[in-house]
């Protein structure tokens, strides 16, 4: 009669399951190490999808469409009419980071630096004193796009934000955490060697030297940075964590783990009953804004085109009302060192399967999507019959904090939707932790969702 959480490590203990789990984990580690920006993630997905026969254009039964290189929709036509409703899985490919400002370059004290404006909910102190890589694009006035990726190859230099030494931090450590680390001090070190024999009038020989290197290597001048999107992100690959290698640590589990697991589950479908849609958005971390975020009309416009091609005359709102969706996003797993911010009955544990979050929001569920009980019942049913472990949790103790996802932007259409994804430790930090078992279970759970 009592509900008991199920431990994935016991459920997936067979040799066959372990091998499948390890294989998926290895592929995920490669993906996470390679894709550090939303653009890179979308490019990776598109090239894999194209190899599986997905094409641009809505006349195909398997189509894909990319918007601005930052969001992606894919669909596979089902056996039943679109008016019977879709199975939509949505996730996001953007991650918290330090964006270079549009006029970033300067020099102080024989060091060349770049000003940044952080993107998303970072804890500022976590970004000091660690190796960073620069990723992004620079667009020239003629439309040429220069791709930047420095700091991932072992032969590459890395970048960093220098931190204050403890010897001179007596005043800083007395401050509140929210005031001790200032955004305007998150400046990335770019160089140190001055331009050889600079003219007397040169006041910034180190900055000039950096510009010189940028021009030689990428053919860009300072003005080009005004039309650039360059992100400073943690350098280096994702790694297994722990002696048993049961965890994966890396930058951007939120939400590339759901992007990956959802995509892999989507790819393996074949001749489904309901038409299936995978959508990967950008800008979730800053409120799903802009033309590539979930608040945009990208989904709506794409589905209108799909209906015109496959089932003209069907009303989009009928499709939406009959649609079932998953907002595939990570959840805050219970932190062994900070258990007090969670309420144990309604918290999730690493290794115990993907986590449903019926509602997000904060302070009295404000700003939440709240999935209907009927929908939760249906989902429990399909996962239980496939013997896939799952959990249900809130983001933390009531009034302790909160958060939001893309779920509410899907809910406005009248479809059923719930947040569902693996737990993460250290969410939004430069090194987030995920359980290998949860990644596998999430992939299997998304697979079941698509097929039912
Ligand atoms: Mn997320
Ligand atoms: Mn997030």
CA 340–ligand 2 middle distance (angstroms): 21
Residue 2 falls inside a structural domain: no
216 and 118: one domain? yes
**Which residue range forms the structural domain that includes residue 82?**
8-95+251-451
CA 281–ligand 2 middle distance (angstroms): 12
Q: Is the peptide bond before 264 cis (omega within 30 degrees of 0)?
A: no
Task: Single out the residue of 363, 364, 389, 377 nearest to residue 418, CA to CA.
Answer: 377
CA 414–ligand 1 middle distance (angstroms): 22
Quote the CA–CA distance of 9 and 12 in Å, as a whole number. Answer: 5
CA 201–ligand 2 middle distance (angstroms): 47
268 and 317: one domain? yes
For residue 16, give every residue at least 6 positions away whose Cβ sits within 8 Å of its Cβ, in sequence order, or none: none
Predicted local distance difference test score (pLDDT) of residue 201: 66
Residue 135 falls inside a structural domain: yes
For residue 71, give every residue at least 6 positions away whose Cβ sits within 8 Å of its Cβ, in sequence order, or none: 38, 42, 93, 279, 280, 281, 282, 292, 293, 296, 298
What is the SS3 assignment for 199?
A: coil
Four-residue CA torsion sign, 39, 44, 47, 52: negative
Q: From the CA of 121, which ligand is nearest?
A: 2
Q: From the CA of 97, which ligand is nearest?
A: 2
Residue 3 falls inside a structural domain: no
Q: From the CA of 330, which ligand is nearest?
A: 1
Distance of CA 2 to the CA centre of its chain: 35
222 and 133: one domain? yes
What is the SS3 assignment for 219?
A: coil
Q: What is the CATH number of the domain that holds 205?
A: 2.30.250.10
What is the SS3 assignment for 195?
A: coil
435 and 315: one domain? yes
Per-residue pLDDT of the chain (452 residues), as tens digits, is 999 999 999 999 999 999 999 999 999 999 999 999 999 999 999 999 999 999 998 777 999 999 999 999 999 999 999 999 999 999 999 999 999 999 999 999 999 999 999 999 999 999 999 999 999 999 999 999 999 999 999 999 999 999 999 999 999 999 999 999 999 999 999 999 998 776 666 679 999 999 999 999 999 999 999 999 999 999 999 999 999 999 999 999 999 999 999 999 999 999 999 999 999 999 999 999 999 999 999 999 999 999 999 999 999 999 999 999 999 999 999 999 999 999 999 999 999 999 999 998 888 999 889 999 999 999 999 999 999 999 999 999 999 988 889 999 999 999 999 999 999 999 999 999 999 999 999 999 999 999 99
CA 165–ligand 1 middle distance (angstroms): 33
Predicted local distance difference test score (pLDDT) of residue 404: 87
438 and 368: one domain? yes
224 and 258: one domain? no
- Which of residues 207, 234, 261 is at a domain's end? 234
CA 428–ligand 1 middle distance (angstroms): 9
Q: E strands along 192-250, which residues?
A: 228-234, 239-241, 247-250
429 and 442: one domain? yes
Q: From the CA of 95, which ligand is nearest?
A: 2
Q: What is the CATH number of the domain that holds 355?
A: 3.40.630.10
- Which of residues 199, 234, 269 is at a domain's end? 234
Q: From the CA of 92, which ligand is nearest?
A: 1
66 and 174: one domain? no
Residue 354 falls inside a structural domain: yes
Q: From the CA of 91, which ligand is nearest?
A: 1
CA 281–ligand 1 middle distance (angstroms): 11
CA 255–ligand 1 middle distance (angstroms): 5
Cα dihedral value 343, 346, 347, 351, nearest 10: 150
Quote the CA–CA distance of 116 and 155 in Å, as a whole number. Answer: 25
Predicted local distance difference test score (pLDDT) of residue 196: 79
305 and 428: one domain? yes
CA 285–ligand 1 middle distance (angstroms): 7
Q: From the CA of 286, which ligand is nearest?
A: 2
316 and 351: one domain? yes
Q: Which residue has the tokens 């039912």?
A: 452
Task: Single out the residue of 33, 25, 261 nearest to residue 135, CA to CA.
Answer: 33
Instruction: State the helix-helix crossing angle for 15-34 and 38-51, rounded to 10 degrees.
Output: 130
CA 28–ligand 2 middle distance (angstroms): 19
CA 60–ligand 2 middle distance (angstroms): 34
CA 100–ligand 1 middle distance (angstroms): 22
Phi, psi of 433 (to 5 degrees): -120, 135
CA 330–ligand 2 middle distance (angstroms): 8
Quote the CA–CA distance of 68 and 281 in Å, as a whole number. Answer: 11
Q: From the CA of 258, which ligand is nearest?
A: 1
Whether the pTM exceeds 0.95: the reply is yes
For every residue of 339-394, DSSP letters joined together read GGGS-GGG-B-TTS--EEESB-EETTTBT--B--HHHHHHHHHHHHHTT---EE--
CA 92–ligand 2 middle distance (angstroms): 9
CA 223–ligand 2 middle distance (angstroms): 32
Number of domains observed in the structure of the chain: 2
86 and 104: one domain? no
What are the CA-CA distances from residue 369 to residues 99, 153, 403, 413 (Å)?
30, 42, 11, 12
CA 451–ligand 1 middle distance (angstroms): 24
Phi, psi of 430 (to 5 degrees): -65, -15
Residue 245 falls inside a structural domain: no
Predicted local distance difference test score (pLDDT) of residue 202: 64
- Which of residues 208, 234, 260 is at a domain's end? 234
Residue 1 falls inside a structural domain: no
149 and 77: one domain? no
Q: From the CA of 331, which ligand is nearest?
A: 1
Residue 265 falls inside a structural domain: yes
Residue 392 falls inside a structural domain: yes
> How many Cβ atoms are within 10 Å of 1's Cβ, its own excluded?
2
CA 254–ligand 2 middle distance (angstroms): 5
């Amino acid at each position: 009669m009592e509900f008991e959480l199920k431990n994935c490590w016991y459920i997936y203990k067979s040799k066959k399951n372990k091998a499948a789990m390890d294989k998926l984990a290895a592929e995920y580690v490669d993906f996470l190490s390679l894709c550090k920006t939303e653009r890179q993630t979308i490019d990776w997905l598109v090239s894999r999808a194209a190899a599986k026969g997905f094409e641009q254009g809505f006349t195909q039964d398997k189509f894909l469409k990319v918007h601005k290189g930052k969001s992606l929709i894919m669909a596979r036509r089902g056996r039943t009419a679109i008016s019977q409703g879709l199975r939509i899985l949505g996730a996001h490919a953007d991650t918290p980071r330090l964006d270079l400002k549009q006029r970033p370059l300067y020099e102080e004290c024989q060091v060349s630096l770049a000003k940044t404006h952080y993107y998303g909910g970072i804890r500022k102190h976590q970004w000091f004193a660690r190796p960073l890589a620069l990723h992004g694009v620079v667009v020239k006035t003629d439309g040429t796009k220069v791709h930047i990726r420095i700091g991932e190859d072992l032969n590459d230099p890395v970048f960093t934000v220098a931190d204050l030494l403890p010897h001179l931090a007596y005043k800083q450590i007395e401050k509140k955490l929210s005031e001790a680390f200032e955004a305007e001090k998150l400046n990335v070190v770019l160089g140190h060697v001055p331009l050889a024999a600079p003219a007397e009038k040169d006041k910034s020989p180190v900055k000039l030297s950096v510009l010189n290197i940028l021009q030689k290597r990428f053919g860009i001048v300072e003005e080009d940075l005004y039309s650039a999107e360059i992100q400073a992100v943690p350098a280096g690959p994702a790694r297994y964590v722990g002696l048993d290698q049961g965890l994966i640590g890396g930058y951007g589990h939120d939400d590339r783990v759901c992007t990956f697991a959802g995509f892999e589950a989507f790819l393996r479908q074949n001749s489904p009953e309901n038409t299936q849609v995978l959508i990967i958005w950008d800008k979730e971390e800053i409120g799903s804004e802009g033309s590539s975020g979930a608040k945009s009309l990208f989904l709506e416009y794409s589905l209108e085109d799909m209906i015109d091609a496959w089932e003209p005359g069907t009303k989009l709102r009928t499709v939406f009302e009959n649609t079932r969706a998953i907002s595939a996003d990570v959840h805050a797993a219970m932190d062994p060192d900070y258990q007090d911010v969670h309420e144990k009955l309604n918290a999730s544990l690493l290794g115990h399967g993907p986590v449903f979050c019926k509602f997000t929001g904060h302070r009295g569920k404000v700003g939440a999507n709240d999935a209907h009980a009927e929908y939760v019942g249906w989902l429990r049913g399909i996962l239980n019959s496939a013997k896939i472990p799952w959990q249900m949790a809130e983001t933390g103790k009531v009034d302790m904090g909160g958060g939001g996802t893309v779920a509410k932007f899907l809910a406005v259409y009248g479809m059923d939707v719930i947040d569902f994804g693996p737990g993460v430790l250290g969410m939004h930090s430069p090194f987030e932790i995920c359980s290998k078992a949860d990644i596998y279970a999430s992939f299997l759970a998304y697979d079941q969702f698509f097929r039912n």
